[in-house]
Amino acid sequence: MNSGDVDVLRTAVAWLAGGRRVILATVVQTWGSAPRPPGSLMVLRDDGQIAGSVSGGCVEDDLIHRLRTRELPLERPEITTYGAGGEESRRFGLPCGGTLRIVLEPLSARSRLPELLAFLEARQRVERSLDLESGAVTLCPAPASAGVACDGQTLRTPHGPEMRLLIIGAGPVARYLAAMAVMLDYQVTVCEPREEYREAWPPLEGVLLSDVMPDDKADAMRLDAHCAVVAVSHDPALDDLALIRALASPAFYIGALGSRLNNDRRRLRLREFALDAAIERLRGPAGLNLGGRGPGEIALSILAEMTAIRRHRGLDGSLADWSSSSRACRVDASA
């Protein structure tokens, strides 16, 4: 769930507190091309005002029309489908014959939205289960692999940060990287054993600052395929500890800041730990070659590379090539 969806839920809670009737629409399944993926949310107030989206606009317009003509459910949840045929797909702006299925849920105190928001504001991952017959909701910790599921009787939706990011070092690049990653809905941990760096770290909402050693923190986090690890401490003694653990894990992204020369030296050190095959997964210098120079632009390039790898986009072009870049030698002369 991204931060925009959290805003949708907050809007719904505010509307309910104001005595309005509210319907929550959740995309639960798509076929072909659809504007919004499963899990997308929209809330519809009794006067036709909406927040969030489930399509490019035409489905929202139809739901508003159905609300005003009293065709929408106001007592218990129901499932509705858009784009079942080619003509209907074109009518609702669903490309390539796309189809989407939506659960429409009248909200009430039993919807447990305030409790759900409390978990999300604490950066916890939660699975919300909606009984489609009664409208009753239960909340429980969401498994790492949880996804949107609807079997006609129960709708299960995961909420909260899906991805985790472990940053080694609390310097300027880490500050930008952590702040940007939170906005992209990562659960962010900054590992910094050095007291002088921790004291200079500014409080960032949604970011955990840890003083344990990087290898211990990586072990405690139980790195999985939803994790990224980025070493930016400028201290090989710290960076290497985390990278050793990360390369032995299924983490989807492993990066290290520094010049090409220093990353070559790093790879030689890591080979002493029998990580020869895994070293191919190390992105060093970390980030796409966007030509950035300051900490903010460097952090942006790292997040761009993380996103490309997460979304399975190829990185064989010039943006991933540091062989002729001078920036790679100036980013970090000490790492």
Is 240 a residue whose pLDDT tops 70?
yes
> Mean pLDDT of all residues in the chain?
86
Per-residue pLDDT at 144? 67
Side chain identity at residue 212, one-letter code: V
Is 175 a residue whose pLDDT tops 90?
yes
Per-residue pLDDT at 335? 37
Residue 8: phi and psi, rounded to 5, are -60, -45
Same domain, residue pair 220 and 155: no
Per-residue pLDDT at 120? 86
Per-residue pLDDT at 289? 87
Residues 43-74 have pLDDT tens digits of 999 999 999 998 877 788 889 988 888 888 67
Q: What is the mean pLDDT of residues 239-266?
A: 92
Is 228 a residue whose pLDDT tops 90?
yes
Per-residue pLDDT at 150? 94
Same domain, residue pair 117 and 133: yes
Per-residue pLDDT at 243? 95
Q: Of 97, 129, 159, which residue is a domain's last?
A: 159
Domain assignment of residue 15, yes or no:
yes
Same domain, residue pair 7 and 136: yes
Provide the 8-state DSSP code for 284. Answer: S
Per-residue pLDDT at 316? 61
Is 96 a residue whose pLDDT tops 60?
no
Domain assignment of residue 217, yes or no:
yes
- Structural domain span for residue 93: 3-105+112-159
Is 157 a residue whose pLDDT tops 80?
yes
| 255 DSSP β-pair partners | 230, 283
Same domain, residue pair 34 and 93: yes
Lowest-confidence range among 80-89, 119-128, 138-147?
A: 80-89
Same domain, residue pair 140 and 177: no
How many Cα atoms within 13 Å fall on the side-chain side of residue 137? 21
Same domain, residue pair 126 and 242: no
**Radius of gyration (Cα) for the chain, nearest Å?**
23
Structure-token match 């009794």, residue found: 46
Per-residue pLDDT at 332? 41
| Token pair in block for residue 269 | 């050190």
Same domain, residue pair 220 and 277: yes
Same domain, residue pair 51 and 139: yes
Q: Of 159, 175, 190, which residue is a domain's last?
A: 159
Is 328 a residue whose pLDDT tops 60?
no
Same domain, residue pair 146 and 223: no
Lowest-confidence range among 242-251, 281-290, 314-323?
A: 314-323
Kindly report the CATH number assigned to the domain that includes residue 233.
3.40.50.720
Same domain, residue pair 142 and 173: no
Residue 269, number of CB atoms within 10 A of its CB: 14
d(CA 167, CA 165): 6
Per-residue pLDDT at 219? 94
Is 238 within 8 Å of 167 (Cβ atoms)?
no
Domain assignment of residue 62, yes or no:
yes
Specify the number of domains making up the chain: 2
Residues 176-200 have pLDDT tens digits of 999 999 988 898 999 999 999 999 9
For the chain, give the percent of residues with pLDDT over 70.
85
Provide the 8-state DSSP code for 28. Answer: E
Is 111 a residue whose pLDDT tops 70?
yes
Domain assignment of residue 335, yes or no:
no
Lowest-confidence range among 29-43, 91-105, 150-164, 300-314?
A: 91-105
Query: Which is nearest to 250 in space by CA: 209, 215, 278?
Result: 278
Same domain, residue pair 179 and 263: yes
Same domain, residue pair 176 and 148: no
